[in-house]
């Protein structure tokens, strides 16, 4: 999955950084995306048994691409949609994941959703904002954070729509492959977690297996 993501980052750099033109508009993140800041439900609504909505408080459950389910809440407050970029808004500010499914987000996260169906462009644009976001990591404080106003006003270059369309059509199959690889890894892990205890306690006999 890492190699696939690096391929997309290289495509993004070639199309929007190395080939950038002076005529392209300078705007802000709010021009291309809707930002939803997380809000934490009450603690007594949390559970680990799958009741209610998947809940992510912050980056603790972030993986390489998608977060790992651990907590659920029966009273979700703020929702991220499937495919939204999830950004850590508390130290360290700027870490990114993608919502694998609709989920509830707590105050440590923001969900960032494309305004015009260029979600891959939004995601890979966010990767390029790391230096800008690093400014918020503990600047003058012990605990770094960023608010919605600062996120909305992040300066970006906005290329022509047809170029963003071309990027989406090019990288969407790669993003789908990343998701498919992730799902396969999850299936294999589930099989491992089911079989390993049975192997350890002798419930499954492999003595006759020849290697």
Q: What is the pLDDT of residues 16-53, one digit of tens each?
A: 999 999 999 999 999 999 999 999 999 999 999 999 99
Query: Does 206 reside within a domain?
Result: no
Judged against a pLDDT cut of 70, whether residue 205 lies above it is answered with no
Phi, psi (rounded to 5 degrees) for 149 = -60, -45
Work out the pLDDT band at 137, boundaries 50, 70, 90.
Answer: confident
Q: Which helix (H) or strand (E) element contains residue 25? A: strand 25-28
The 3-state secondary structure of 42-77 reads CHHHEECCCCCEEEECCHHHCCCCCCCCCEEECCCC
Structural domain includes residue 193: yes
Percent of the chain with pLDDT over 90: 74
Across all residues in the chain, what is the average pLDDT? 91
Q: Domain count for the chain, please give it.
A: 1
Q: Is 57 contained in some domain? A: yes
**pTM (predicted TM-score):** 0.87
Distance CA 67, CA 10 (A): 24
Residue 133 lies in a domain: yes
- 56 domain-assigned: yes
Round to whole Å and give the CA distance between 192 and 199: 10
pLDDT at position 85 over 60: yes
Q: Has residue 131 been placed in a domain?
A: yes
Q: What is the CATH number of the domain that holds 69?
A: 3.90.220.20
**205 in any annotated domain:** no
**Within-domain flag for 141:** yes
* Domain of residue 136, residue span: 2-200
In the predicted structure, residue 136 carries a pLDDT above the cut 60: yes
């Amino acid at each position: 999955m890492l190699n696939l993501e690096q391929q997309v980052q290289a495509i993004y750099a070639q199309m929007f950084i190395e080939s950038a033109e002076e005529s392209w508009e300078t705007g802000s993140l709010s021009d291309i995306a809707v930002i939803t800041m997380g809000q934490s439900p009450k603690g007594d609504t949390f559970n680990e048994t799958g009741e209610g909505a998947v809940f992510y408080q912050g980056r603790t459950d972030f993986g390489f691409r998608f977060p790992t389910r651990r907590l659920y809440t029966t009273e979700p407050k703020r929702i991220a949609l499937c495919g939204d970029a999830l950004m850590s808004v508390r130290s360290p500010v700027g870490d990114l994941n993608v919502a694998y499914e609709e989920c509830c987000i707590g105050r440590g996260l923001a969900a960032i959703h494309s305004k015009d169906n260029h979600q891959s462009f939004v995601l890979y644009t966010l990767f390029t904002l790391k230096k800008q976001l690093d400014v918020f990591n503990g600047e003058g404080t012990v605990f770094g954070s960023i608010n919605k106003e600062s996120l909305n006003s992040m300066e970006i270059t906005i290329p022509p729509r047809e170029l963003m369309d071309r990027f989406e059509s090019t990288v969407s199959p790669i993003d789908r492959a990343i998701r498919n690889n992730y799902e396969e890894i999850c299936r294999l892990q589930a099989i491992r977690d089911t079989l390993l205890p049975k192997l350890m306690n002798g419930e499954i006999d492999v003595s006759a297996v020849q290697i």
